[in-house]
Amino acid sequence: MSKIRCQYCHEYIDSSDYPAHEDEHLKLRSDGQQNEYVTLPPEERVEGDLEGVPTVYLHTKCGHATGMPDEITRSYLKNPYLYLADATFCTGCGKHVPLRECVWTETGEDLQSHIDRLRAEKPELRPGIFMRMLVAVVKMFQ
Ligand SMILES: [Zn+2]
Ligand SMILES: [Zn+2]
């Protein structure tokens, strides 16, 4: 039987079991945050010290600070195109908010400018036009 590598936990799952498995990851927790986010497999993430990398962001509209999980930081540093929705979870609002409304407490830079800068450094990873259209469609329905 063929197996699919889960993009959340990176286990190999039988393809017939995969839809139910993925559903478990996508269930919303009681605080509204997804159980887990897509990340790069551990061996593909940025390794080593994250010194100098900002990890806590402030949502300027509500004033709440939220910590960025380590595995997400290590994934987007490697591939800044991984989270194309340009939104992040605010624990104060209990929902996803635009990156533009959030600033890093460490650097004062807004998250959108930060990710745009990282993307500009890695144009070779830019997804094809089809992926970007798909994301645009998904955003329309959010
Ligand atoms: Zn999984
Ligand atoms: Zn908020």
Q: How far is the CA of 62 from the centre of ligand 2 (A)?
A: 4
Residue 89 DSSP label: E
Q: How far is the CA of 11 from the centre of ligand 1 (A)?
A: 6
Instruction: Count Cβ atoms below 10 Å from residue 127 Cβ, excluding itself.
Output: 13
Residue 138: alpha-carbon gap to chain centroid: 15
Q: What is the pLDDT of residues 93-131, one digit of tens each?
A: 998 999 999 999 999 999 999 999 999 999 888 877 666
Residue 63 DSSP label: -
Q: What is the pLDDT of residues 23-61, one digit of tens each?
A: 888 887 666 666 677 889 999 999 999 989 999 999 999
Segments making up each domain of the chain, as ranges: 1-36, 52-140
Inform me whether the pLDDT recorded for 135 exceeds 80: no
Q: How far is the CA of 40 from the centre of ligand 1 (A)?
A: 12
Q: What residues flank ion ligand 1 with Cβ within 5 A? A: 6, 8-9
Residues written for the chain: 142
Instruction: Count Cβ atoms below 10 Å from residue 112 Cβ, excluding itself.
Output: 17
Check the CA dihedral 27-29-32-38 and report its sign. negative
pLDDT at 13: 94
Measuring CA to CA, how many Å separate 80 from each of 3, 30, 45, 62, 97? 27, 28, 12, 26, 18
Q: Which ligand is nearest to the CA of 17?
A: 1
Q: What residues flank ion ligand 2 with Cβ within 5 A? A: 59, 62, 64, 90, 92-93
